[in-house]
Structure 1
Amino acid sequence: MTHPLPQPLSDADWPEAALALRDGFAGKLNVYRVMAHHPALLAAWAPLRKHIVLDSALGLDRSEVVILRTAHRFGSAYEWAHHVSRARKLGFSDARIAALRDMPEGEDGLIARAVDALIDQRRLPPELDAELAAALGREAVFDLIATVGFYSVLGYLLMSYDTPIDDAIAAEMAAAPL
């Protein structure tokens, strides 16, 4: 017997246990509408999401570099499209965003090397950790590691369940491809 893959829940199908989250961040994106199939996980996810997305010691620009590189490395079209949109709103040029598919120079390159090390080696080598701590600060290194982990889990969910890119982001990417 085959089971259909979980799809984003409509408001009408939203579980009562997660209603408060639907009216906040979770009701806005398909990734969380899929995660709502497991209300306890979605509720546990919320505080970490707040820290990673809003309160990270990396700051918004560096966080976007981490997320875009992670999305690229995972091949997550959903996260790539959503964060191209977010990076553009932060003032990133398309050239800066596109460079994250390769190996950019400067601080973006340092961050990209860190993401690659975490994905490929499952750790930061001591010399890279020291370089990151000197450039970004120790708390930002912790947040970089946590951000890669957070978006890795989202990538697993998105790709396992073939989550569709949200309509507004798909339309934006169609109108202004990278």
Structure 2
Amino acid sequence: MTRITPLAKPFPPEFDARMKALMRGAEPLVLFTTLATNERAWTKFSGGSLLDKGSPLSMRQREIVIDRTTAKCGNEYEWGVHIAGFAPHVGMDAAQIYATVHGVADDPVWSPEEAVLIATVDALLGHKKLTEAEWSALKAHYDDPQALEIVQLVGFYHGVSLICGALDLPLETNAARFPAAKGD
């Protein structure tokens, strides 16, 4: 049972048009249909999204940050949606997907630039800021617009994780599931 009943079809025209463009023929995510029950919540949420084409990060960099953030927040819902929808398109292999959930920054599956992304997510979620050393490591690979986008992605998807957890959203049927830890 959902905590807030999602919108049902027929959707309001503006939301329906947005979903047709965003979802490219697939059914809207329950996260979207639930938030859209409140126009203000939906407008603020969709206005804060960083999935547009104007990102200073590559799609792969963006997805590594999102996947690690949602995994560290225990948000299987959003992690699974992103892994299913984007991992194949950004060249993430099974070892990298596993490492977004169970790995560490210095796992050999990551390039030095990607390891910094993992370390930055972990630092921000772990102690809510970056030390001078952590900021310097980030800036060794990313310019100011990229660094700011990385921090914003972590913040936004931390918020998405809180929303998904509070609403106890059911997992999407076509989404990935967290991999079991090795040895389980």
1:47 alignment counterpart = 47
**Mapped pair 1:126 → 2:118:** no
Equivalent pairs counted in the alignment come to 168
TM-score (norm 2): 0.79
1:8 maps to amino acid: P
2:7 alignment counterpart = 9
Alpha-carbon distance between aligned partners in 1 of 2:32 and 2:163, rounded to the nearest angstrom: 10
1:58 alignment counterpart = 57
Alpha-carbon distance between aligned partners in 2 of 1:21 and 1:154, rounded to the nearest angstrom: 19
The alignment partner of 1:57 has SS state of coil
1:72 alignment counterpart = 71
Tell me if structure 2 keeps the 8 A contact 1:9–1:37: yes
Distance 1:95 1:53, change over 3 A: farther
2:109 alignment counterpart = none
**Mapped pair 1:38 → 2:45:** no
Structure 2 gap ranges (5+): 107-111
Q: Which structure shows the bigger proportion of residues in helix conformation?
A: 1
Tell me if structure 1 keeps the 8 A contact 2:73–2:158: yes
1:154 maps to amino acid: V
TM-score (norm 1): 0.81
Query: Per-residue CA shift, 1:46-96, capped at 9, x if unaligned?
Result: 2331x3453221221111110111111110111121122111232210111
Alpha-carbon distance between aligned partners in 1 of 2:77 and 2:40, rounded to the nearest angstrom: 23
Alpha-carbon distance between aligned partners in 2 of 1:123 and 1:156, rounded to the nearest angstrom: 18
The alignment partner of 2:169 has SS state of coil
Distance 1:6 1:54, change over 3 A: farther
The alignment partner of 2:77 has SS state of helix
CA RMSD across the alignment: 2.4
Distance 1:39 1:80, change over 3 A: same
Structure 1 gap ranges (5+): none
1:93 alignment counterpart = 93
Tell me if structure 2 keeps the 8 A contact 1:35–1:42: yes
The alignment partner of 1:54 has SS state of coil
Moved more, 70-79 or 125-134: 125-134
Alpha-carbon distance between aligned partners in 2 of 1:84 and 1:17, rounded to the nearest angstrom: 28
Structure 1 residue 140, shift from structure 2 partner: 0.8
Alpha-carbon distance between aligned partners in 2 of 1:118 and 1:148, rounded to the nearest angstrom: 8
Moved more, 143-152 or 102-111: 102-111
Indicate the percent of aligned positions where both proteins have the same amino acid.
23
Tell me if structure 1 keeps the 8 A contact 2:105–2:119: no
Structure 1 residue 22, shift from structure 2 partner: 4.3
2:103 alignment counterpart = 102
Alpha-carbon distance between aligned partners in 1 of 2:40 and 2:140, rounded to the nearest angstrom: 38
The alignment partner of 1:55 has SS state of coil
